[in-house]
Chain A
Amino acid sequence: MMKRDECFRILARHIGDAAVVATYSSAVDWVTVAPRVLNYTSIGAMGLDSSHGLGLALGRPDKRVVVLQGDGSLLMNLGSLVTIGEVAPKNLVHLVAHNETYEANGGHPIPNPKVDFAGLARAAGYAAVYDFADLGVFAQQVAHLLEQEGPVFATLRVEPSRPLTYDYESLYDPAKRKAFKTAWRA
């Protein structure tokens, strides 16, 4: 079992100029590790992270898009796996932090905590699918994962984290949305 913030520290070393779509606990950890203008954290409705990511990937096929989604979020939008599998954007990397809980909403368990997200993504038609539970293996493969032809999916099996502070004013700051748009269109 890994820690989400440790995974993200490793990911941040390789992220380059990719857009990173993240929400809730994943967003809190990501913006702490990698505060950058190309972070997209205004999702508006739980579960739609993967759909925003698909739109960004279609809109800028010349750039990379990385979605950092929680397991509870993906469960709210499981159909997006099928949509992404069908559309098959080559520049989309979809990482799901599987900590088996709705961490931002009190730490309650998700339905069927042992659900096989990687298996679902494979069945939905993702081009490449991974399932990481070991930080060393993730560190070894993350660069390849970010570079290969997508859509790429990976489950990150992580522990529930320490209590987080959710600064939604900052995550949903309109000025950050505006800055993202300018940078993304450049």
Chain B
Amino acid sequence: MTTSTQGRNRSRPAALAGGFDLGKILLEGRAFLALIVIIVVFSILSPNYLTTSNVLSMASHVAVYALLAIGMLLVILNGGIDLTVGSILGLSGVIAGWLMQGVRLKALGDVTLFPAVWVVVVLAALVGAVIGLVNGVLVSRFKVAPFVATLGMLYVVRGIALLMTNGLTYNNLDGKPELGNTGFSWLGFNRILDLPIGVIVMVVVAVIVSLVLQRTVFGRWLYASGGNERAAELSGVPVRRVKVWVYVASGVCAAIAGLILSSELTSASPTAGSSYELTAIAAVVIGGAALSGGRGNVRGTLLGAFVIGFLSDGLVIVGVSAYWQTVFTGAVIILAVLLNAVQYRGRRKAPASSGDAQGPSSEPEPADATSPQTARTTG
């Protein structure tokens, strides 16, 4: 019913995908409003909250969540879910730690290789990509439900990380100057123009993904196959390929997040990032994306990550107990999802029944009741 009126409000002349759109702004306005409320409340409660140093330190916490969430967004836009990101984050750190300690190769006459930092970064990202590839192939080729496929991989990947270290943590990631592998801590500690590297990486990744989503064929394919896979396929969209790529991208994002986190902590624990996949999903949802696919964007997801990060750090600063922090975070997620439901209720009404898989002629007359104004457009 609201379909028609919203349609009227939301439509603007030459606005295609990335254009200015009042409805979208309002939708994201919600997460933005929440962020402002959080900042205002905590600034009042603690004078230290809104200092530059604290905001920057919070922002580098957010960067880790945001990188995971941006990868997650791609998968969720496709109508899937990626539960492996927390495990990939952990494994990526462990891979980096392992490589920094030197790799002994007995086959080559027992030499120990100390790869340069850039090699470490590339290899860790590659491992993330491979795990994403496995997820993608399981989901697209073998038709395993994304939830189940990535749940399984969550355990497998975490297990590999634990096996590699025997459950221990790599504590020395600094490298040695004589081995030429120093500089790993640059990721976590250095700043450019006062901005932590992690934050800069987050911004760069966000800009790239945003451009891909709004301006490239792949982005449009992703929105289309998430919105209606069958229709996309019949329109010539390579839906399987799109699906594989989003999992690969999510894996790479998670691996990068893992490198930043282990560099910040100067240690790589195989259990790092446990349950971060849920935080990432929460950020995407708070950012207004639909778990059913096809709706959502990078701006919203970033806001979602900031809401979660600024809220939990704020609670720490004002001294709320860790248990209460969990309760608050949960409440914010539920609130966001409730608002999403309100937001999409009207819009979904018309197309929803088509998703019921009731078959071809279940609704031969879809527009009759749901969009009354069409009487005039047809007549």
Q: Do A and B share a complex? A: no
Q: Which residues of A contact B (CB under 8 A)?
A: none
Q: Which residues of B contact A (CB under 8 A)?
A: none
